[in-house]
Structure 1
């Protein structure tokens, strides 16, 4: 107990140092704790989004799960026992097991297929077959089209039923017509009477597994309880199957529910199959493949988050080591005295270990809660140091957050003990010798860790460059946005290695500055150079802090901006405009055969189809439209030029409208796009061809080429210009088409011809074209859609670039990139600021006597503050400058490797490293505020020094 009280008193005595150390541990635990919290939150949101997309694309409710057991020759008791057992299992075990709310549990019962004959013709041989079905809570989900609801008991021995309009037509019935069911397994005479025709109460009601009700086109629906009593227990008609259909609220699906969902699905299958070993069973969960892929995405996101946080974790490690070192430095005299008086090393270490356990344990309890708040910062980030109002993510603490936080706290604890172990090796004599020798070479310089880090970083750069070259040459690639975690680890090693290497040379630079002006320096500068030069090792922790903060910030800004802009430009280029529409054109094409009808007789295949062009004016007047253009695209056109032929992509445009509407960056071509458009606008025969076409077929400006396609006569055109890129055109060879004999892909690259739409329509053929729209700034796509409906424009397809951009921005990997880079930089700035203030405050307190003497011999406060500012310039200022240089160099070297994420063999526009002034303005503003604020606090402390107090301290 006495030891514990002594430790508490020691912590209170060094409260500022201990608080700073606790802050570093707390930030480490919080940062590491955000990883599992954020992974679960973002993947849960993306899972729900993907399930919504699944529903829209397939018209299938994604929250459904159904299973069915079939019967063959089982006894009545056996069937009843199986159905009742599975009913209990589904209600009591399966429903809670999914982990998400169950909207409906629909129990379905079916009889075997029986013949349906009129009551007046009981011996009819060619009767149609039907089944009787029953569904739990059926009447809550239907609307009667005609007739009434059936009775819940037989009426005069007749079972009343419902049917759909399709069944009414199929069987040729009228309501209230009595029919007989015939089959060998039927007990006695069974009569049914349709008394009502129904349809769904709500169009999108997920209660019905088959949304079109086509499965009820040959069936009758009977009251559920009546079915249970008469058929399952009474055995009037043999029961052939029983099913259970779960309607789950998939919007509440989270990543933590995925394991429960899949486990419950397997448990249901096992339970149903165990009860139906001798007969048929069926299952359905259409979204299982979509859900299962999130395990792999979760692993990838976890790797990405760890790699993104490596620089910040390295910095936090430096910070904790520095603060621990400062604490131990202030207590080295006590440690040396204790060791000289017989205290064992383990006893000294144990006292510090207890202190570390208290701090790390408290940080472990609080850290994940702070991580929960930091996760919300990640979700709101839309770029580096850029935040937007985005739909709030559902975040929650989970077990992994505390597990990861515990690991981080343990690592912090070990980091704290390293300076203690080193200090306990020194005796009282050795300690006094160290105080007299302030110039000491740091460990990383002795071990050449800077050279080692740079060697690993350059090896990683070499590996990435070779991999990138292979991808571009062989047409290889990857799907979606796939970021290699090492792409962030290697730049961090480069920053650390580069910073330490320059700090190795920094004392030499100071000596050079001192030597160059030793005859002219004023006393204040002379004293500052002496102070910094003789204590350079003391500044190096602080300087490496600032170097890493600035360098990683510059690299992060470049990486985030580059990935964001390249993602946006790739989508805009591929689409060509804000909105791309394809409308329905009247034509004389034979209509398709109706479903189920016999195939039509073969017709002449070379008969051309004639189209009637609809009015283009309605597109120009749509709400929110700024510009509109006609764009004719023929992917399988052909050309000939002498003995040279080939398949081309033909694009026909109105040059003026196209130039105003299409999106295209000017840096892709030698001249602005409008100059090329003006070339062909001057002559209807003029066309632009792609560089791939010119190289593969040896064409030049002024050559004449003939263009046409199937059923269309070839017409001559003249080459007016050669272009490398054009909206929507990808000049790279398709993936997998490059062989070893064609390393450059020149034999398989696509070819393009751009011509005037009017000439193509008049001399080749009039066929449907696309409509490209450019929207006004701030225009709503919802208003545009409403305007289309109002004008009743018949559309075949629509491409919305804004929606695709939003989807790309919400990709979990891009969100993680923007969020973690921003969060990591903000944490780095806070940590650096705290370390900056802590170091300089302790440094000023340690030099109180020196500063007091300077004031006593006539140095004014302004001169003293000037010396402090100069000292800051030589240390903090130099660190900022070094950080800027290393950060820019790291960006130039490593950011180009990020094009691997975009499949570089087919990336258009080509990958380009992007920097924007606003990013660096934010970065340098934050750092500038930190330095100015720190200098202000230190200046205030200097102004509070009293000469008589400093001199009295010297006498003591």
Structure 2
């Protein structure tokens, strides 16, 4: 108890330092616990979104569980009599194992097809062949409306089974309500009489009850469920039945933690059916989507850990710095205790208890703050950009507390390192250390900065080699594959670079001191001596500012670069805001079922040559697209993927693009500096000659074609036309110039046959005038490119197209693709975590800066008092503080800027390894937003300004007599 009270008194004495340490611990715990919370929340959102997209794209309801079995009754096995009842009970019980609400459960039975004959041939044409089946569906009455007739009886009426039918059956079988039909089958001992008494239709066409049940309505007689079970299911004369069990689940209530139970329930159902039925089927549209979530969770967790590496290092450094400040103030006390017989274990036990107390508080408060941090991550729409997005389902779980506990233990251990080092020092060693403050730090003595710098540069070269191979060979990197070293190595480089520049910094101070030694005023002379002789004392705060600023710049650049390159990739791939295709009238013959292929006809006599007629197209009007509201410009863009270009004896397969130069220039998007000259200059070249074309660099290199050469262009059976090369291009809107791997076969020998080899094929492109190609080659369908006004929404355009009755075959919407990319969990992680890391870095930097300088000033009150007594004015003391800040914090800011920009230019290009290299067009480009740097510099200036104001205020309250008295004490 006495030890505990002593620790409390010590903590109260150093309350500001202890509070700063506690804040650092809470932030560390909050950051660690936010990772599993965010992973769960974003995957939960993505799960439901993916299932909703699945429903939109495939028109299948993702929450459907559809089971089918073909039941065959066996006279040898008595168990088959109860098999269907047991199956009904098992599937009903197992359906609750999915862990989500069941919106609908349907059991359906159906007989095999029978021949139906009229009971009274005089009322119905007996020559019509009538095939049909008896069917029943549970709770059918609740999902239909009676169109005509009456509801059928639940019992046979004079031996006749009454049934519902859909209108299609009456038409198909050429009967009316009330016509009695008889099933005659050799397997049935007696005839079954059926009478349709009610015509029905679906009460709600959107009702999921009818999923998978709307086929063969022309041949189904629907019998009440109870009657069917009693008279047909349990009737041994019906030796076979088709059985269906359909469950509609509310997939919006599906939770991430319930995926295992969901897949297990499906597996149980499928296993039960496979063990008891020879023919069965179990379908669940959501399963393929659910199965990939394990991999997605691992990738997202890896990304979150990787993204948090820099800020985690900053937090660890902050905790170490604060703990070191606490220990420095208590070193004399520790040394006295050691000299009076206290063991190192006893002293460390006090620090352990202190860390446990602070860590316990952080463990209680941190996870709740982590939840709030997760909400910040979910609201991010870009780096330092937040939007009102639908709130993520955020909740604390066991894993969050596990992460929090690990963070507490690691953080407390970090704070104990200075105490462990301090307990090794005796009172004599402590006094010697105070007298030797200008010695090299331990990390500089062992050349840790040089070693880490060499390692980070080596790893950088390794990444560069891998990236070069991916691009040159056309290889694909896994979509969003994240290598943790992509984030660890830049943090390592920033730390090493900061240490290295701080190694040479004392020499720069010495050079400044020597250069102006004869002219420096006394206060500046004193400051240069103070900084030059106490470099070790300032290294902690300087390194801290360097790492904060450099990490902030790197995070800003990395986030901006990834966001901008993803956006530019989408814009370049599409070429403009909207790309759509409309149906073209043509004289193509309808497809024949017996055709053997596009060049043959299975129905033609043997030996007859079939000449394929070229399809003639009629171009639809283009003017309506230019008159759509909100459309800034529109262009016709014709693309032929399998065209050819001939020059001399060389013929190459190429993509042909036909454009109208003026409209294309106003509509298409292309990033600046991708071409040797401005994009519009190439369009101006084309505009001068109708025969002019632009060719890709790959064509020029493979064929030797150059500007001024005449080439022949055509496709298929279209006779080629002559064109003149006016320019050579490397990039063009919507065209991917990156090489791709293609498989080729080469014959090796008669025994081995052929072997497949891979080669790198460079894509090729020819751009020319659309009107010239239409007049000299052929008129074929083209795409319509639309550029929208900035305030125009996609929905407004869709409404305008529908209002003008413009038919659309396909449509690509760049704006919607950009929105979807920003909602991608990996993009959310990048933007959210880097924004959060940036804000945390600034926050702890501000706290660390103020804490260090306030404590430093309070420890130098005697020095300033003596200087005032010697005649140094208050203004000169302020000048000393300003000069000291410029030589330390100002220098650290400069070093941080250099380090951050260097790290960004070296390491940010490596982030293209996280994307598919073959589709990354335009090339990956490092982006810097001046506003990010401006914000960072303003924050740093405010931080230094507030620090100077506080220090100046403290200096103004120093009394000479108090300083002298303090010196005497």
- Conservation of the 8 A alpha-carbon contact between 2:114 and 2:185: yes
1:785 is aligned to 798
2:346 is aligned to 347
2:706 is aligned to 700
Question: Take 1:132 and 1:48, find their aligned partners in 2: how far apart are those partners?
Answer: 39
2:437 is aligned to 438
Question: Take 1:551 and 1:771, find their aligned partners in 2: how far apart are those partners?
Answer: 47
1:423 is aligned to 422
Moved more, 22-31 or 47-56: 47-56
Q: 1:898 aligns with which of 899, 911, 917?
A: 911
Query: Superposition pairs for residues 636-651 of structure 1, below 5 Å?
Result: 636-651=642-657
2:876 maps to 1:876: no
2:222 is aligned to 221
Question: Take 1:323 and 1:737, find their aligned partners in 2: how far apart are those partners?
Answer: 61
2:769 maps to 1:767: no
How far residue 192 of structure 1 moved from its aligned partner, in angstroms, is 2.5
Q: 1:732 aligns with which of 730, 733, 738?
A: 738
Q: Deviations over 1:213-268 (max 9, x none)?
A: 11545333222333344444576855625443221222333432322322222233
Distance change in 2, residues 1:337/1:85 (3 Å): farther
Please state whether the residue corresponding to 2:781 is helix, strand or coil: coil
Please state whether the residue corresponding to 2:615 is helix, strand or coil: coil
Question: Take 1:778 and 1:722, find their aligned partners in 2: how far apart are those partners?
Answer: 36
- Conservation of the 8 A alpha-carbon contact between 1:41 and 1:393: yes
- Conservation of the 8 A alpha-carbon contact between 1:147 and 1:175: yes
Moved more, 546-555 or 804-813: 804-813
Moved more, 564-573 or 730-739: 730-739
How far residue 93 of structure 1 moved from its aligned partner, in angstroms, is 4.6
Moved more, 674-683 or 144-153: 144-153
1:51 is aligned to 51
- Conservation of the 8 A alpha-carbon contact between 1:158 and 1:190: yes
1:321 is aligned to 320
How far residue 189 of structure 1 moved from its aligned partner, in angstroms, is 4.8
Unaligned runs of 5+ residues in structure 1 are none
How far residue 467 of structure 1 moved from its aligned partner, in angstroms, is 0.6
Distance change in 2, residues 1:493/1:188 (3 Å): same
Question: Take 1:595 and 1:132, find their aligned partners in 2: how far apart are those partners?
Answer: 35
Distance change in 2, residues 1:110/1:738 (3 Å): closer
Distance change in 2, residues 1:233/1:346 (3 Å): farther
Distance change in 2, residues 1:862/1:222 (3 Å): farther
2:927 maps to 1:914: yes
Q: What TM-score do you get using the length of structure 1 for normalisation? A: 0.93
- Conservation of the 8 A alpha-carbon contact between 2:100 and 2:250: yes
Distance change in 2, residues 1:936/1:234 (3 Å): farther
Query: Superposition pairs for residues 68-87 of structure 1, below 5 Å?
Result: 68-74=68-74, 78=79, 81-87=82-88
- Conservation of the 8 A alpha-carbon contact between 2:73 and 2:239: no
Question: Take 1:723 and 1:574, find their aligned partners in 2: how far apart are those partners?
Answer: 17
Distance change in 2, residues 1:150/1:854 (3 Å): farther
Question: Take 1:343 and 1:263, find their aligned partners in 2: how far apart are those partners?
Answer: 61
2:476 maps to 1:477: yes
Distance change in 2, residues 1:216/1:402 (3 Å): farther
Moved more, 768-777 or 519-528: 519-528
2:623 is aligned to 617
2:163 maps to 1:157: no
Number of residue pairs the alignment of both structures matches = 948
Distance change in 2, residues 1:374/1:43 (3 Å): same
Distance change in 2, residues 1:217/1:41 (3 Å): farther
Distance change in 2, residues 1:605/1:349 (3 Å): farther
Question: Take 2:26 and 2:611, find their aligned partners in 1: how far apart are those partners?
Answer: 75
Question: Take 2:255 and 2:895, find their aligned partners in 1: how far apart are those partners?
Answer: 45
How far residue 904 of structure 1 moved from its aligned partner, in angstroms, is 3.0
How far residue 362 of structure 1 moved from its aligned partner, in angstroms, is 2.1
2:32 maps to 1:32: yes
How far residue 827 of structure 1 moved from its aligned partner, in angstroms, is 0.6
Question: Take 1:182 and 1:694, find their aligned partners in 2: how far apart are those partners?
Answer: 78
1:515 is aligned to 514
Question: Take 2:560 and 2:488, find their aligned partners in 1: how far apart are those partners?
Answer: 18
Question: Take 2:737 and 2:931, find their aligned partners in 1: how far apart are those partners?
Answer: 33
Question: Take 2:707 and 2:477, find their aligned partners in 1: how far apart are those partners?
Answer: 37
- Conservation of the 8 A alpha-carbon contact between 2:29 and 2:362: yes
2:412 maps to 1:413: yes
How far residue 849 of structure 1 moved from its aligned partner, in angstroms, is 2.1
Distance change in 2, residues 1:703/1:137 (3 Å): same
Question: Take 2:167 and 2:484, find their aligned partners in 1: how far apart are those partners?
Answer: 59
How far residue 184 of structure 1 moved from its aligned partner, in angstroms, is 6.1
Moved more, 722-731 or 541-550: 722-731
Moved more, 21-30 or 178-187: 178-187
Please state whether the residue corresponding to 1:735 is helix, strand or coil: strand
Question: Take 1:50 and 1:605, find their aligned partners in 2: how far apart are those partners?
Answer: 48
Moved more, 151-160 or 648-657: 151-160
How far residue 627 of structure 1 moved from its aligned partner, in angstroms, is 0.5
How far residue 732 of structure 1 moved from its aligned partner, in angstroms, is 2.6
Moved more, 459-468 or 855-864: 855-864
2:815 is aligned to 802
How far residue 600 of structure 1 moved from its aligned partner, in angstroms, is 7.8
Moved more, 945-954 or 701-710: 945-954
Distance change in 2, residues 1:156/1:886 (3 Å): same
Question: Take 2:189 and 2:416, find their aligned partners in 1: how far apart are those partners?
Answer: 86
Question: Take 1:72 and 1:727, find their aligned partners in 2: how far apart are those partners?
Answer: 62
Moved more, 226-235 or 481-490: 226-235
Question: Take 1:811 and 1:719, find their aligned partners in 2: how far apart are those partners?
Answer: 43
Distance change in 2, residues 1:832/1:581 (3 Å): same
Q: Deviations over 1:419-466 (max 9, x none)?
A: 222222223333333333333432322332212221221111111111
- Conservation of the 8 A alpha-carbon contact between 2:110 and 2:133: yes
- Conservation of the 8 A alpha-carbon contact between 2:637 and 2:658: yes
Distance change in 2, residues 1:69/1:637 (3 Å): closer
Question: Take 2:239 and 2:176, find their aligned partners in 1: how far apart are those partners?
Answer: 26
How far residue 551 of structure 1 moved from its aligned partner, in angstroms, is 0.8
1:821 is aligned to 834
How far residue 493 of structure 1 moved from its aligned partner, in angstroms, is 0.6
Q: What TM-score do you get using the length of structure 2 for normalisation? A: 0.92
How far residue 574 of structure 1 moved from its aligned partner, in angstroms, is 1.3
Question: Take 2:647 and 2:274, find their aligned partners in 1: how far apart are those partners?
Answer: 68
1:193 is aligned to 195
Moved more, 722-731 or 793-802: 722-731
Distance change in 2, residues 1:668/1:155 (3 Å): same
2:946 is aligned to 933
1:607 is aligned to 613
- Conservation of the 8 A alpha-carbon contact between 2:473 and 2:739: no
Query: Superposition pairs for residues 308-707 of structure 1, below 5 Å?
Result: 308-593=307-592, 601=603, 604-707=610-713
How far residue 312 of structure 1 moved from its aligned partner, in angstroms, is 1.0
Q: Deviations over 1:885-916 (max 9, x none)?
A: 01111111112222223333453222222222
Q: Deviations over 1:35-63 (max 9, x none)?
A: 11111222222222222222222221112
Moved more, 125-134 or 549-558: 125-134
How far residue 789 of structure 1 moved from its aligned partner, in angstroms, is 1.0
- Conservation of the 8 A alpha-carbon contact between 2:741 and 2:759: no
Question: Take 1:521 and 1:24, find their aligned partners in 2: how far apart are those partners?
Answer: 41
Question: Take 2:483 and 2:322, find their aligned partners in 1: how far apart are those partners?
Answer: 33
1:265 is aligned to 266
Q: Deviations over 1:278-316 (max 9, x none)?
A: 644421112212211121111111111111111111111
1:753 is aligned to 766
How far residue 20 of structure 1 moved from its aligned partner, in angstroms, is 1.0
Distance change in 2, residues 1:925/1:682 (3 Å): same
Distance change in 2, residues 1:79/1:864 (3 Å): farther
Distance change in 2, residues 1:67/1:514 (3 Å): same
Distance change in 2, residues 1:705/1:784 (3 Å): same
Please state whether the residue corresponding to 2:19 is helix, strand or coil: helix
Unaligned runs of 5+ residues in structure 2 are 747-757
Moved more, 769-778 or 645-654: 645-654
How far residue 593 of structure 1 moved from its aligned partner, in angstroms, is 4.9
Question: Take 1:3 and 1:530, find their aligned partners in 2: how far apart are those partners?
Answer: 43
Distance change in 2, residues 1:142/1:881 (3 Å): farther
